Every structure is written in structure tokens, then in C-alpha cells.
Structure 1
Amino acid sequence: MKTLVCFGDSITSKEKSDDGSLRLTSRVRLSLQKWNVINAGVPAETTRVALTRFQEDVLRHNPDLVTILFGANDASSHRLIEVEEYKNNLEYMIEKLGPSKVILVSPSPVNERFQHARSNEGLKHYAKAVRELAKKYNTHFVDLWAEMIGKDYCQMLNEDGLHFNKKGYKLLADLVIQKMEKLTKACSTKPILQQ
């Protein structure tokens, strides 16, 4: 059985929301039952802190694919990790895993009416950095920023203006599932993503 690790912050963490609705990993697991899906999300985490658990929570599983979704906390005024360090931290992860095993996911916009520690003007630079890294390393890429900014994204967020509601998780999970199904089809005649 192939292994997917979903690595990230609170957007990735937990299997269910408080209202009982499914979040990212539980939705992916239901759709792609031939995959072992591991949730490696930790709330409030930046890429700097994530590096300290990267070996234990990601590499140790010898994953076939890893979604990497950080940025909301890196871009926050109270935990700020500058864009250059953010990029360097993501580059370390990509290089350790190998680009063919990585699905980079850009951070999402926030509802600024309720979010005072984060701005979309700031977050767009982190989303751009992820897009640039995906191109540089030729990793797999889910442009969550573009997908949400082109829609009424505030309808996909909880009242805190940051975390996802049911609609937001459906969008995120659908994008990841579509990407994985496309990769699986492309590699159906050979072992997936072997380097």
C-alpha cells in the first residue's frame, strides 16, 4: 500500500471539525482507499518548527507522496517567518524528499474582517514563493491561493477568518484528490513516483 503524508499546520491537522464534518486527511482517505493516509498536521506551526519534526513525522514513513501546506503562521505578525526563510525551509523539505514525492500546496487567503494577525497582501507573497518553488523544482503543485481567491473564499472559512469550514475542506480535499488521481493514472504502467 502506498503512503501519503499530509504535512502542515492547523489547516491539515485533525480528522474532523467540531461540527463533525470531515477535514483534509479523512476526505482523502475515503476517496483513495488504496492509500495509507497519515495526518502530520500540528496547529499553530511555522515551517521553522516543522523542520524539527520532519524526520519523525514525515521521512520515517518512507512516503510515496507528501502534501506540504504551511504559510498561515509563517505570515502571521506574532510568529513571523520572513519569506526567504520560509522558502529555504520548504526547499530543505523538497530536497530531502525528492521533488517527485512532493505536492506543494500554496497557503490560502484569509477574511481580513476577522483576521488581524494576517493580511492577504502579506500572504500572497508566501503563495507566490510556493508557486516559484514548485516551478523551480518541478514538484507537483496545488495552487490553493488561486483557487480560493477566484471564488467567494470567505464562504469557505470559519468565523475566525482563517480556518476552513466544510466548503473549504471540500475544495482543498478535492484538489488534492484530483492531483493524486492524475498522478496515479500517469504512473499506472510503472511503480508510482520511483526515483
Structure 2
Amino acid sequence: MLVLQLSVVALFVLVLVLFGNAFYQATKLPNNTPSKYLRQQTKSDGHKNVVVLMGDSVTHGRIGVNYVDMIEKQLEGEQFEIINAGINSELAWNNLQRVDEVIRCDPDIVTVLIGTNDANATLSTETMRSYVRRMKLPREPDSGWYRECLNSLVKKLKTETNAQIALLSIPTIGEESNHPAFIRSSEYSSIVHDIAEETNVTYLPLHEKMIDFLRDTPGTPTYPFEKSYMGMFKAILN
């Protein structure tokens, strides 16, 4: 009986260790963050063009494919310094709070891919409350606040840097075009497009390209939105 109890305790401890390691790996900051760049390098190092990619978990790159690393590998040997300024679960307001650090990097190019969490937060009261609590938001997010924060972010970058700025529309949320989450992601992508036009910065149609891909390669998702995408969001937040 004692052996069985010890085995159960050992198994429980092992699960905790594995979960803790997985959480650490998922939330660990990249090696090329703005703060690390500011501590270790200066723009005079090799006269490289400094490229900062701002965003959320998509840019952070610990949950899925790290597109920042892919860009860095493609530009290997070129005169570019790639900086990853993405952090899991962030909304446009959170990016705005961190933009001063990006400005201190004296970037030549800044891309901004933010808004998926802003859109997702509006899909249910439970999700909204979770974002407000976890991300220390000063208010409940909605489309108007998203527009305001993203607009302020772009204007601050334009005013305080000489960088070329590009806004990306957000990824589709799920694959079912008639699902409220998918529709919401389209609405928020339209806001990104509007702000890019209003502020005269480059617009990169990521959302539209994903819709084209889904249209050209139709299929039924293996798992419905509620079990797949929402499960991923809850795991990141909690």
C-alpha cells in the first residue's frame, strides 16, 4: 500500500514538473527582445538595419511556428538586426505600453501584428474578464478601444522614429467563415486596414491571404472552434 501511495505521489510530481517546464517554454521570452538588444548592441554594430516585429503570441513564437526566426534565417548574412517584440496574450493596449522600449531601439522598420486577443476578448464575458485580470487592462476591451490604442501606437512610432511602419491584418480566428469568432477577426482586420490608410503606413493583408488559402483549400476542421482555438487561448491565459 505504501509503495502504491509513493508511486502516485511520484507520478503527480512528475506531471507538475512536466507542466511547469511546458509553461516555461511557452512563456519564455525570445533571445532577441528589445531589452536584450539595448543591453548588448548598438546600431553602429555593423551598420545593420534594425527591424522590430511587435505583436502577441503569434510573434512571440513559443506557442506555434516562430515566423520571426524564419525571417531571421532567410535574411541571414544580410545587413538586418531582427528584434522580436511579441509577448503572449497581449492586446493593442499592452503593445502601446511597451512601445517606448521599441523606440529606444532606433528601428529602421517596425511591423505590428496585434489584435487577435482584442477580438477574442469580446467573444464572451468569461473571456473578457480573464483578459482584464491577466493582462491588467484598465477597462473592458472593445473595437473602439482597439482602434484608439492601435492608432496611438502608430502615431507614436511615426512621431518618435524614422522607421518604415507596416500593419498586418490579424489572422483568421478559426477556419469556419460563418463562426462569430471568424467574423470578429474580419471586423478587427478592417480596423487595421482603416488605420493604415488614415496614418499612411504600409498595410500587409495577412487576414485576406489566409481567407484566400482557406477558400482554395477547403476542408472541415478536425476539431470545432470551441475545442481547439478557444482551448489554446485558455491555456495561454491561465
TM (norm. structure 1) is: 0.69
Distance 1:70 1:149 in 2: 18
Aligned to 2:107: 63
Aligned to 1:31: 74
Paired residues for 1:95-134 under 5 Å = 95-98=155-158, 101-111=164-174, 119-134=181-196
1:62–1:135 Cα change, 3 Å: same
Q: Which AA in structure 1 matches 2:57?
A: S
Q: Which AA in structure 2 matches 1:130?
A: V
- Runs of 4 or more above 6 Å deviation: none
SS at match of 1:6: strand
Distance 1:88 1:16 in 2: 28
Unaligned runs of 5+ in 1: 164-195
1:31–1:125 Cα change, 3 Å: same
SS at match of 1:146: helix
Over the residues paired in the alignment, what is the CA RMSD in angstroms? 2.8
Distance 2:61 2:212 in 1: 27
Aligned to 2:143: 83
Higher deviation after alignment, 44-53 or 3-12: 44-53
Q: Which has the higher contact order (CA 8 A, sep 6+)?
A: 1
1:97-122 CA-to-partner distances (Å, cap 9, x unmatched) read 11862110000112267xx9x70111
Q: Which AA in structure 2 matches 1:75?
A: A
Structure 1 residue 7 displacement after superposition: 0.3
Question: Any conservation in 2 of the 1:15–1:26 contact (CA below 8 Å)?
Answer: no
Higher deviation after alignment, 132-141 or 92-101: 92-101
Q: Which AA in structure 2 matches 1:105?
A: L
Distance 2:170 2:54 in 1: 13
Paired residues for 1:1-195 under 5 Å = 1-14=48-61, 17=64, 23-32=66-75, 33-56=78-101, 58-76=102-120, 77=123, 78-79=127-128, 81-98=141-158, 101-111=164-174, 119-152=181-214, 160-161=228-229
Number of equivalent positions: 154
1:22-75 CA-to-partner distances (Å, cap 9, x unmatched) read 52111111122321000011001111122222212x112111111101111001
Distance 1:15 1:61 in 2: 23
Unaligned runs of 5+ in 2: 1-47, 129-139, 233-238
Larger radius of gyration: 2
